[in-house]
Amino acid sequence: MYEKIRIFLCENFGFLDLKLSFRIELRSRKLQKSTMTFDIAAIGAGLAGLTSAAQLQQAGYNVVVVEKSRGLGGRVATRRIPNHRADFGARYLEANGRLVSLLLEILRDRQIVQLWTEASHRWDGNLIPDPPRPHYVPPNGMNEIGKFLGRGTRVWFSRRACQLTPQADNTWHLSLEAVADGSDAPLELTAKAVILAVPAPQALEILADTPGLPEEFRNNLAEVEYNPCITAIAKYPNDRPLPDWVSVNFPPETDLSWVGLDSSKRPNTQQPVFVVHSSADFARSHLNTTNLEAPGRELLDRASNYLLPWLSEPEFLQVHRWRYAFTSQPWRRDCLAATTPLPLVCCGDWCGTRQIETALRSGLAAASITNSQLQQEVLSPIRQVWQSL
Ligand SMILES: Cc1cc2nc3c(=O)[nH]c(=O)nc-3n(C[C@H](O)[C@H](O)[C@H](O)COP(=O)(O)OP(=O)(O)OC[C@H]3O[C@@H](n4cnc5c(N)ncnc54)[C@H](O)[C@@H]3O)c2cc1C
């Protein structure tokens, strides 16, 4: 923020800049060096972290969310590409669980989410239509869901949580690493309670040197496993004839898991944009590949063999690797609380098998346990919390 003010002043009032920018710089550095104290620090601004933070904040706790990336929503992610935006993580919402259904109801009321399609297909040597099922998306991108859930929550972006240490005054000390320039958030904080709302392997990294953690707790985290996924975002010239399908699921032997016509989610889009997700085995064979363009092109070749010949010739291609895409070996309870003297709870979609529904449920479970270890405030029902955002 201070950097933006400095640039604005520099561009508009050049003569003021020197003195002021020095003072702003000084304040920004002071802020980064100071240690702020919170009731609760939630690590990870995915759906689990944002849900727990919103509920605890509404109960009156002083909460901060620490997020290593620049945006809200975690794997419910949208990326800007030239003249378009593409959902390169979670594909859509379906009303297939109590919490997703509730969230959908509120997001539809707010006109953040709309019906995308009822028609999905699967590949089984031919394109087979699935029984009709409503798929919902925000036309502005799936990350609108994270933006909604994060309303009113204090989030420190571009800060990776590195190490968690208990202190003598019965608070946690959390050291943070700056991931990108442009954020003046501090590099450490203290909190009475910590919620780690990140994939289990990433929680283990943060807890690697935390003293006093029971071995069993680390073992439970270590048993959780994820499948990776490689995602290609491909854009094509606008004279290409559009197919009569928008969403196709594939069996793993094809190297693909899903192909979607992403541009059909957006209003007034001219150019076809497709998102192609790989199978877990395909992604696993490229866990150490540094240049992802070749695997991205391989995925488009596969899609072109099965669906449309011109899919192998994009005019624009971006490829992303999700190291922790889908839980393959979950923890079978709603969250994982440590029996440390200080409150520490881990949560996320790895606490079950229902992806977004599990992430939401796990975030709520983490909020409830954290509250029971702190002031035991009355937590509002999540419907009320979301409706107030
Ligand atoms: C390709 C793909 C397609 C999918 N499609 C669907 C779908 O159609 N339907 C569905 O229900 N689900 C789908 N999912 C799964 C769904 O996206 C996840 O289950 C859900 O979003 C997980 O939420 P979460 O909050 O548990 O974790 P995440 O969304 O992973 O949130 C964790 C957050 O923590 C941050 N973080 C990690 N480590 C640190 C650290 N050290 N310091 C600070 N921040 C950190 C991350 O940047 C991230 O923002 C899909 C996922 C992928 C990858």
385: left (phi over 0), alpha (psi -120 to 50) or beta: alpha
Token digits of residue 141: 């991108």
Distance CA 101, CA 96 (A): 7
- Which of 355, 358, 364 to mutate to test ligand 1, by most ligand atoms within 8 A of the CB atom? 355
Pocket of ligand 1 from Cβ distances under 6 Å: 43-49, 66-69, 74-76, 89-92, 160-161, 197-199, 202, 206, 229, 231, 277, 322, 325, 348-349, 355-356, 359
Rounded to whole angstroms, the Cα distance separating 328 from 349 reads: 11
What is the torsion angle, in degrees rounded to the nearest 10, for the CA atoms of residue 165, residue 169, residue 170 and residue 172? Answer: -30
Per-residue pLDDT tens listing for the chain (389 residues) = 454 554 444 444 444 444 444 454 545 555 555 789 999 999 999 999 999 999 999 999 999 999 999 999 999 999 999 999 999 999 999 999 999 999 999 999 999 999 999 999 999 999 999 999 999 999 999 999 999 999 999 999 999 999 999 999 999 999 999 998 888 999 999 999 999 999 999 999 999 999 999 999 999 999 999 999 999 999 999 999 999 999 999 999 999 999 999 999 999 877 999 999 999 999 999 999 999 999 999 999 999 999 999 999 999 999 999 999 999 999 999 999 998 889 999 999 999 999 999 999 999 999 999 999 999 999 999 999 999 99
Least Cα distance to 297 among 279, 318, 283 occurs for: 318
Residue 347 Cα: closest atom of ligand 1: 26
Beta strands at 155-156 and 273-278: parallel, antiparallel or unpaired: unpaired
Please give the number of the atom of ligand 1 that sits closest to the Cα of 160: 42
**Residues 95-104: b if buried by 16+ CB within 10 A, e if exposed:** bebebbebbb
User: How many Cβ atoms sit within 10 Å of the Cβ of residue 243?
Assistant: 17
Which residues on neighbouring strands pair with residue 209, listed in sequence order?
none
CA of 238 to the centre of ligand 1 (A): 32
**What is the number of the ligand 1 atom nearest to the C-alpha of 357?**
11
Ligand 1, atom 52: nearest CA belongs to which residue? 89
